[in-house]
Amino acid sequence: MGEQGEKLIRLFYESKREEEKTLYIVRGAQQWEQQQGADFFVVNNRLGTKYFEVKTDTQAKDTGNVALEIQIVDNDGFKSIGCAMKTFPDFLFYWIHPTTEILYYDPKKLNPWIVDWIADGNHRIVETENKNFFSRSLLIPISELKATGEVRTLNVTEELVDKVIYS
């Protein structure tokens, strides 16, 4: 699923054109960039260079919540900050699979809100088992994320979503 979300963002930006010119150049992150939380390095004449990280959530459509990964615990017990609180990528994209809605934000600007949500104790933290680690994620209603003013929505076409899901 994660690869589908990455493909969706990549195709969206690579397909943007103005007067027959490509607006964005997108390359996969190199290993050292991936280790810091980036999936893509993007170049645009107006935006300059940016790093993107992409997450795909298959339950948000049904639950109305987004799971913001706040901690990773490796099988050997090593703990690290989860992707929602890493500040290396300039933007984190969050695809509400399989819809056309993608949430995006600057992690540096959302981090203070995440700290507040953890401190207030009114939001659930869930654990998800993976092969080599488990993660802890904070469940936040999509409406509450948008209410911060830091989280924006990018809508892609149904055709693009279908191309990603069914290819």
Q: How far apart are CA 157 and CA 99, in angstroms?
A: 9
Q: What is the pTM of this model?
A: 0.91
pLDDT reading at 53 higher than 80: yes
For the chain, the structural domain boundaries read 2-165
Take residue 122 and report the two structure tokens written for it. Answer: 């009114």
> How high is the pLDDT of residue 28?
95
Condensed to tens digits (0 to 9), the pLDDT of residues 66-103 reads: 999 999 999 999 999 999 998 899 999 999 999 999 99
Instruction: Give dist(CA 1, CA 7) in Å, integer.
Output: 10
The chain-wide mean pLDDT, for the chain, equals: 94
- Please answer whether residues 71 and 135 qualify as being in contact, where contact means their C-beta atoms are separated by less than 8 angstroms: yes
Q: In 10 A of CB 133, how many CB atoms? A: 16
What are the backbone angles phi and psi of residue 9, rounded to the nearest 5°?
-65, -45
Kindly tell me if the per-residue pLDDT of 59 is higher than 90: yes
- Mean pLDDT lowest for which of 1-10, 27-36, 43-52? 43-52
Would you tell me which CATH number, out of the four given (3.40.1350, 3.30.2010, 1.10.3470, 2.60.40), belongs to the domain 2-165? Answer: 3.40.1350
Which residues, at least 6 apart from 142, have a Cβ–Cβ distance to it below 8 Å? 60, 64, 65, 66, 96, 103
Does residue 60 carry a pLDDT above 90? Answer: yes
